[in-house]
Amino acid sequence: MPTTLEDTAIDFPVTTLNDLLEAEAKAGVTVGADEEKYRRWAFISTGAAGLLAIILAVVLITGGSDSGGGGESKAQTADAPPNTRPVPLTVPESSLDNPKAGEYWDVVSSVDGTTTELVKAGKLTSIKEAGESGTVKRIAIVLAVTPEEAQALLGAEQRSLRFLKATGPAPSRPAETPTTTAPAAQTPAAPTPEAPVPETTPASQPAG
């Protein structure tokens, strides 16, 4: 009676279908109808592994978010005022107290106990999450400031920056242009009328 797989104990490891078939052949197992069963088993196992790989790839791409958006929040935006320059910054979320796009923020630099004002009421035109650095949540913001303030802000050490919410936009500071007042046009004085010259009568001549 031919030996079957169920009656045979295999003492060496089997990792693939070919190894399994080869092991059965070495053990004297007659491979016939069982071979199709093994092939179906291998096909189903391979398909299941591929499906799991696809699911894993989808989870990695979407970040496991229920919304399928990768867990990345959409940026809040606002229009920048005219004659300003955008300055992008990535800062700890705790640096700004509940910030919202469209708000105005002062920025100061604090170094060795010395505080220097860098931005007076810059407008927050963009804000979004920027992931984590260790255990610190970070946000990416864009401040619209004057060109002079942008230069000062970019030149400052980022760790020294402090953000303070402003009450509103900075007052307009138009360039002061010296004005000269033209002298008022003088109205020529009316000519003074000349006094009439009294008529003189010839003196009477003495009688001759």
Residues with Cβ within 8 Å of 71's Cβ and at least 6 positions away in sequence, in order, are 62, 63, 64, 65
The amino acid sitting at 122 is G
- Going residue by residue through the chain, which has 208 residues, state the pLDDT in tens, using 9 for 90 and above: 555 555 555 555 545 666 666 776 776 655 555 666 666 766 677 777 777 778 877 777 765 544 444 445 688 999 999 999 999 999 999 999 999 999 999 999 999 889 999 999 999 999 999 998 889 999 999 999 999 999 999 999 989 999 999 988 877 654 444 445 555 566 666 666 666 666 655 555 555 5
Residue 140 bridge partners (DSSP): 90, 128
